[in-house]
Amino acid sequence: MKSVKTLRRTALAAYVAAGIALPLAGYALATTQANVNAVAAAQKRLSDAEWRDHLADDRQTSAASAAGNLLELDSRPYSPAVDWSAVAERAMPSVVMVSVIEQARGDGSSNRAWLIPGVQTNQATTWLNRYRAWRQDWAEFDQEREWITMGAGFLIGDGHQVATAGHVLSGAEDVRVKLSSGEWRAAHVVGVDLVQDVAVLRITGQPGQPVTIAPAMPRQGQAVAAVGSPQGWGFSLSSGLVSRYGAASAMFAAQPMLQVAMPIIGGNSGGPVFNARGEAVGMVSFGKETFNQAVPIGRVQAVAERML
């Protein structure tokens, strides 16, 4: 009898367990499937967003929409063999190198972290800054600061103004420029537009030779050259061609840009891009490896005119 009762109890327990397990298994399966579906849907949304971003970045634009004030494509005849030495001779007097000196760290009281919204200074953070300044010997760092050539620029307007890339001046306490003659000139910042990545400086002393602005934008495939300071090697010339006109994610927003295929690295930022006649068609902004983005010269002019 005991064995029969035991079997009955075992069977009842198994039945109850099965009754509980089946709904739980069904719930788990449904939940798992729901999670799979949710992940798949999220992945699809992500893929769709990435695809939209890709299409936006890959969107071809016309020279007219990219160029600002210059609405025409250059229809003038060009020789297939460009004499870049002659171009450099014409254009180089209008090019400058831009050097900056970093802001002093001092005792940490001017720490830019405190400019972040929601971050507040108090007596504790003030003492913390002073402690960091002492431990990291910021006073000695400030004494050893040197002028660093961060990029290039070119003379515009009446020859006292210099156009350069806005990000070249980031964190700078002071700025100066070097003319192609080798003369250093003091300069002060007139204005910076980081969205367009355009800045304007004003130099002291006699005016220099303003750059010649191209009357029209180069066609895709036409030869261009840039002058800059790659790795601090000032007034370096590199040549290539117009790769395309297209929207590209610039410093803070997608902007129509002139894309050029030529060797450009850090230090070229702010330098002019010339056509084969030595006329400025753009200003180097940013890039990756061989393909680099330049702000069309018409937009550089428009931003500069707002600042002057």
Ranking 52-56, 78-82, 97-101, 260-264 by mean pLDDT, the lowest is: 52-56
Contacts of 260 (CB under 8 A, 6+ apart): 224, 226, 240, 241, 242, 243, 273, 282, 291, 292, 293, 294
Query: pLDDT class for 185, splitting at 50, 70, 90?
Result: very high
Question: What local confidence, expressed as pLDDT, does residue 27 receive?
Answer: 44
- Over 60: is that where the pLDDT of 13 sits? no
Answer yes or no: CATH 2.40.10.120 is held by domain 61-101+148-308.
yes
**pLDDT, greater one: 250 or 303:** 303
Rounded-to-integer distance, Cα 222 and Cα 243, Å:
9
Domain chopping of the chain, boundaries: 1-58, 61-101+148-308
Question: What local confidence, expressed as pLDDT, does residue 301 receive?
Answer: 94
Sign of CA dihedral 149, 238, 200, 169: negative
Question: What local confidence, expressed as pLDDT, does residue 227 receive?
Answer: 96
Q: How many CB atoms within 10 Å of residue 47?
A: 10
- Over 60: is that where the pLDDT of 200 sits? yes
- Over 90: is that where the pLDDT of 28 sits? no
Q: How many CB atoms within 10 Å of residue 300?
A: 29
From the list 170, 206, 193, the residue with the least C-alpha distance to 98 is 170
Section 291-308 average pLDDT: 92
- Over 90: is that where the pLDDT of 237 sits? yes
